[in-house]
Structure 1
Amino acid sequence: MSIPRRDPPSLLSLAISAAVHNVQHIHNLSSIPEQIVAELFRKTLAAGKLTEPILKVFMATGNPEVLLTVQSLDIQPIRYPVLPTRCNGRMI
């Protein structure tokens, strides 16, 4: 009986795993290729780490696969109500 050979993980998969682990610290994905952004989004979603700020970072990329996934899963950004304010006793 032979032991099945396991190839070491690729540098790309290690980088994506590290990015998912630290996704809350990522503020811009504009320099990342679209394919990697899509994979990072899928893995972030699978890891349960998608929050409102992280969703905004992914949406800002305009990546079609990310946008389609957000639309198909009906993920909605939280909309906070705007409260009226007063300035010098007058309503603005």
Structure 2
Amino acid sequence: MTKLQPKLTSGPGAMAKALGITRLHNAMSLVADDVWIEDQGVIIPEDNIVSAPRVGVDYAGEDALKPWRFYIADNMFVSKKVKSK
């Protein structure tokens, strides 16, 4: 994407596309120089982190209800907000 848009994080595919990640990156090491995860020292207060069930994984049975989706409360880039518990 050339412009910051709320759709940026509407799902893993959109996020990968925005970051320029393709299938050519499959199995690449995250500790090498090609792709990496960078810590920029941003600290999110724990009470601002929402844990909710993932969206669109009904096929996962009872695991679909597990709170394995995390996002920052009131973040405009969250595709579907779920009330936190």
Select the structure of larger CA radius of gyration. Answer: 1
The structure with the largest strand share of the pair is 2
* Short-chain TM bin: under 0.3
TM-score, L = length of structure 2: 0.23
Q: Which has the higher contact order (CA 8 A, sep 6+)?
A: 2
Which structure is higher in helix share? Answer: 1
